[in-house]
Structure 1
Amino acid sequence: MATLGTLGCAVGAIALVYVLSLLVPDRQFWVELTIVASLTVAVIFPLQLALRLRNEALRDMQKELQHALHHNPVTGTLRANAFAASVEHAIDRRRLSTAENPDGVMLVLRISNFDEIGRRYGPQWADTLLQSIVQIVHSCVRYGDLVARLSSDELGIYLPGTATENARDFCERIRARIDETTFTAGQEHHLSVTVRLGGTRVGDQSDFQALREAANHDALAEEEAGPLLFRELFS
């Protein structure tokens, strides 16, 4: 782009010299043409290049800033506010669309002993554990599913167009992969990780806080009742 801009300026300068040569025919046209073109390239190209590099740096900085505003720095997942806005927007869009299934499921995953691990081994190992679990979740979700860190020990997962039965299978896959994974704090300490999963069908509800509370209710009930529970909210 800098080269094209420089060429454009050079062509404009050459055209101007040509017009002047027609008005003043005794002047040495080709000498002036060469001098003007050379000066234009020598001066304009560095300016054009610097301007393009500055604009690209500003765009990259804006992208990094937007990413930092919407994503958790530890997990790389969405922040709670960005997740809530994205879920409500996706629900409203799918409800108005005739080509997309309006159904969906809102899940929460809670690490029951997250605070205990942080106190015993240090917050850095608790964060490492959370990052590992996020990787497991990402390996199970589809393109278009949303994952967020809602609190220190809580992840939110939105599965658009997913039936309750499929969401239950999804949760069992996550649970199985967590059970198969060996989590360690350093090279000596093996971490015993306990997670609870709960969810609710979206249905006609689009209020994020109500969906989160319903999913959390099932995550807490799972600890008492054993199997994964789903409560259909406003069905």
Structure 2
Amino acid sequence: MNEKILVVDDSHFNVRILSDILEAENFTVFSANNGFPVLEMAHTLQPDVILLDIMMPGIDGFEVCKILKSEYEVRDIPVIMVTARTDGKDIKMALEIGAFDYIKKPFDEIEVIARIQSALRLKELQDRLKSLAMKDGLTGLYNHAVLVELLEKEVSKQRRSKGNLSFVMLDIDYFKKINDTYGHMAGDRILKDLSNILTASVRKGDIVGRYGGEEFSIVLPGAIRDDAYNLCERIRRSVDEHEFSIGDQNVKITISMGVFAHDFDDNSYETEIIQKADELLYRAKKNGRNRVEVM
């Protein structure tokens, strides 16, 4: 298996029992003895399932579950509440705040594994549906809606950390002519190949998406103006030098790019950032295409 399970219980004895049960089934187990580090561990480890004790000192399992379900990056991790109580009110509350299931103490090994496997099946389905909803069907890149949402999150992070961020808009020069000459299937092939070049060219942590049609966008967290320009120049040259295969023919294309370097003290919203990058892309088109314009 190798799925990751996070076990949270203030009893070392209970953690040991659950760890033994899970490790015997080849799960990778992480643990915490209180609720305070759980959110950070969930973000860092991205466990497949969290087993969360209800009764803990300081902050109980209900509060921890509420916090997890309020966080975008971890809210889809199935939480299974662990309780010694048989009171239906506790179970009802756990399910109402977003827990997937519950396990009662003392532990039954077969029940623990069965409930974990049920949670894993749910997560697999959720991950598949989430991926389909987030990705562009043709290129496999982030779609327009998700791209804008991720840009918004990166801008918020940038303001908190007083860091840098650059945003890129690019499109294929004379793409309509390619479709008219070679057909839309050939155009789709070029869009896919260009997507591969973009994803292979950016840094880890950069965000590439299909903005729409032949337009693409790149979010470059931490990138200052010169770094963003240099990266985009490398991408532009890579595309200019690449031969795109369409059947038994090789086709050359070029791209134009607009790069807006956003300062953390600039109060522009994501829509304004996109508009500024789009204006720079238009300038690149006006100034002869196959070029990068930056601000």
Structure-1-length-normalised TM-score: 0.71
Secondary structure of 1:200's counterpart equals strand
User: What is the Cα deviation at residue 211 of structure 1?
Assistant: 1.4
Determine the C-alpha separation between the residues in 2 that align with 1:78 and 1:69: 9
Partners of 2:158 and 2:165 within 8 A in 1: no
Determine the C-alpha separation between the residues in 2 that align with 1:209 and 1:175: 25
Q: Taking structure 1 as reference, are residues 75 and 206 closer, same or farther at Cα in structure 2, changes over 3 Å only?
A: farther
Structure 2 residue 195 is the aligned partner of structure 1 residue 195: no
Determine the C-alpha separation between the residues in 1 that align with 2:245 and 2:166: 32
Looking at CA atoms only, which structure, 1 or 2, has the larger radius of gyration?
1
Match of 1:105 in 2: 166
User: What is the Cα deviation at residue 145 of structure 1?
Assistant: 0.8
Match of 1:172 in 2: 233
Identity of aligned residues (%): 24
Partners of 2:155 and 2:270 within 8 A in 1: no
Q: Which has the higher contact order (CA 8 A, sep 6+)?
A: 1
Determine the C-alpha separation between the residues in 2 that align with 1:82 and 1:119: 30
Match of 2:146 in 1: 82
Question: Which of residues 194, 213, 225 in structure 2 aligns to 1:152?
Answer: 213
Determine the C-alpha separation between the residues in 2 that align with 1:132 and 1:95: 35
Match of 1:23 in 2: none
| Aligned amino acid, residue 194 of structure 1 | T
Point out where structure 2 has 5 or more consecutive residues left out of the alignment: 1-17, 23-108
Match of 1:72 in 2: 136
Q: Taking structure 1 as reference, are residues 58 and 123 closer, same or farther at Cα in structure 2, changes over 3 Å only?
A: farther
| Aligned amino acid, residue 164 of structure 1 | R
Match of 1:30 in 2: none
The structure with the largest strand share of the pair is 2
| Aligned amino acid, residue 74 of structure 1 | L
Determine the C-alpha separation between the residues in 2 that align with 1:121 and 1:48: 58
Partners of 1:91 and 1:102 within 8 A in 2: no
Secondary structure of 2:245's counterpart equals strand
Task: Give the count of matched residue pairs.
Answer: 189
User: What is the Cα deviation at residue 142 of structure 1?
Assistant: 1.0
Match of 2:26 in 1: none
Partners of 1:106 and 1:200 within 8 A in 2: yes
Q: Taking structure 1 as reference, are residues 78 and 123 closer, same or farther at Cα in structure 2, changes over 3 Å only?
A: same
Q: Taking structure 1 as reference, are residues 201 and 110 closer, same or farther at Cα in structure 2, changes over 3 Å only?
A: same
Point out where structure 1 has 5 or more consecutive residues left out of the alignment: 6-43
Q: Please give the root-mean-square deviation of Cα atoms over the aligned residues, in Å.
A: 2.6
Determine the C-alpha separation between the residues in 1 that align with 2:163 and 2:241: 34
Q: Taking structure 1 as reference, are residues 121 and 89 closer, same or farther at Cα in structure 2, changes over 3 Å only?
A: same
Note the alpha carbon deviations across 1:120-160, whole angstroms, 9 max, x for none.
Answer: 32322212211111111112211111111011110010111
Question: Which of residues 160, 181, 185 in structure 2 aligns to 1:124?
Answer: 185
Partners of 2:169 and 2:215 within 8 A in 1: yes
Determine the C-alpha separation between the residues in 1 that align with 2:137 and 2:230: 29
Partners of 2:259 and 2:281 within 8 A in 1: yes
Question: Which of residues 250, 257, 273 in structure 2 aligns to 1:211?
Answer: 273
| Aligned amino acid, residue 155 of structure 2 | I
Match of 1:221 in 2: 283
Partners of 1:111 and 1:193 within 8 A in 2: yes
Determine the C-alpha separation between the residues in 1 that align with 2:117 and 2:179: 44
The structure with the largest helix share of the pair is 1
Secondary structure of 2:208's counterpart equals strand
Question: Which of residues 108, 111, 125 in structure 2 aligns to 1:61?
Answer: 125
| Aligned amino acid, residue 61 of structure 1 | L
Note the alpha carbon deviations across 1:66-103, whole angstroms, 9 max, x for none.
Answer: 11111112111111111111111111112112xxx522
